[in-house]
Structure 1
Amino acid sequence: MKTLTLLRHAKSSWDDPVSRDFDRPLNARGRKAAVTVGRHMRSERLSFDHVVASPAVRIVETVEEIEAGYGSALAPAWDRRVYLASASSLLDVVHELPAGADSALLIGHNPGLEDLILLLIPDRSGDVLRDSVEEKFPTAALAVMTFDVESWDEVSADGGILVSFTRPRDLDPALGPTSE
């Protein structure tokens, strides 16, 4: 059994005059959301054998704030391939996760993360969690999926179960879509 958790970076600032998208930092709301999600991860006792993350500034800052709420270092392997990657590219990263890791966290960007969930989780009538992801996988959202496989390279389309999907607004209504 393998558990894959996906985390989208927290809300970034479009007001910051950076020259590259890669360098966009978090805004204040994003920082608050990331700390809140980190606390949620701690309360749910989520743990990871391996963490992979995009090296974009907004991801690096998301990791710092998540760690503050989580109370522990995530120590991600920074992988440039995750930056703005498609679902198929992200699946390649998943297939390369270490064999000894039973639980992995992948921190990245949309639309790739949302598309990866929709690829890996079968579209079944009445699946409220999957339907919620399909509606929107907002910033700082967290999705936990399980796969009844022995190795990461066996993870395939429609092969997973979406165990949980948590948006920042589920944890604190003030982090809701009013200013999305």
Structure 2
Amino acid sequence: MRKLTLLRHAKSSWSDRANADIDRPLTSRGRRGALKIGTYIEQNKIFPDLILCSPSRRTRETLAQIDPFLPDGTEVKVEPSIYSAGNGSGLISYLKSSAIEEVHVMIIGHNPTMQQMALDLAERTPDNGYHLIEKKYPTGALTQIRFDIDDWRDLGGRGQLVHFVTPKMLPGSTDEDEE
């Protein structure tokens, strides 16, 4: 059994146009949204063995917001290829070809990559939330997919969509909690 959790970075700021895209920080709304997702992670025991994080400031700040909700010692690797991963097929290949032994991997990245990976890897059933992922994958969205495989090299089919949640879906949220 393998689990993949995909987390799109929380809401980031475009206020300083002089900043390069990779250097955009989270907004206060983004920090609040990431904390809500962190609470959800803790309440649902979504504890990855390994986190692969884009090097962008907004993904690293999202990670910092959820970190207090994760077990101490969770392994984190900043993976540059996540920043420019395109439609996600490259990250799927990365999972399949890397020597990743961890059972539960979380990727903290960007759209369209996170949405496309979720659509490519999750089974579509009438009531599992797949249709919500098709419509929109807002900032702060989290998806978890479970695969009936023993090795990431065997990743090839679709897995069971276990979780799909956005900050707006969680208690205390307002309409402005995501884009």
Correspondence for 1:122: 123
**Hey, what does 1:34 align to over in structure 2?**
34
Q: Bigger CA drift: 163-172 or 20-29? A: 163-172
What's 1:144 paired with? 144
Secondary structure, aligned partner of 2:105: strand
Give 1:93 deviation, angstroms.
2.5
Secondary structure of residue in 2 paired with 1:76: strand
Is residue 141–residue 168 contact of structure 1 (8 Å, CA) maintained in 2? yes
Go from structure 1 to structure 2 and tell me whether the alpha carbon gap of 1:18 and 1:64 turns closer, same or farther (over 3 Å shift). farther
Partner secondary structure for residue 115 of structure 1 = helix
Q: Rate the CA distance shift 1:118–1:9 in 2: closer, same or farther, 3 A.
A: same
Q: Is the alpha carbon distance of 1:94 and 1:145 closer, same or farther for their aligned partners in structure 2, counting shifts above 3 Å? A: same
Q: Which residue of 2 aligns with 1:100?
A: 101
Structure 2 distance, partners of 1:150, 1:179, is 35
2:168 is equivalent to residue 161 of structure 1: no
TM-score of the pair, normalised by structure 1: 0.89
- Summarize deviations over 1:53-72 as a string: whole Å, max 9, x none: 10100011111111134474
**Residue 72 and residue 137 in structure 1: after superposition, are their counterparts in 2 closer, same or farther (change >3 A)?**
farther
Q: Whole-Å Cα distance in 2 between the matches of residues 175 and 139 of structure 1?
A: 14
- Segment drifting more, 114-123 vs 4-13: 114-123
Within a 5 Å distance, the mapping from 1:1-180 to structure 2 comes to 1-70=1-70, 72=72, 74-86=74-86, 87-96=88-97, 98-124=99-125, 126-157=126-157, 159-177=158-176, 180=179
The offset of 1:42, in angstroms, is 0.8
Cα offsets for 1:71-116 (capped at 9, x unmatched): 7464420000000312111112222454431111111011111101
C-alpha distance 82-149 of structure 1, shift in aligned 2 (>3 A): same
Q: Distance in 1 between matches of 2:94 and 2:18?
A: 28
Take 1:37 and 1:71, find their aligned partners in 2: how far apart are those partners? 15
Letter in 2 for 1:137: Y
> How many residues are aligned here?
178
- CA-based RMSD of the aligned residues comes to 2.0
> Which stretch of structure 1 is more off in the superposition, 67-76 or 25-34?
67-76
Partners in 1 of 2:23 and 2:31 — Cα distance? 16
Q: Which runs of 5+ in 2 are unaligned?
A: none
Q: CA deviation at 1:16?
A: 2.5
Aligned letter for 2:170? Answer: L
Distance 1:18 1:61, change over 3 A: farther
- Normalised TM-score (structure 2): 0.90
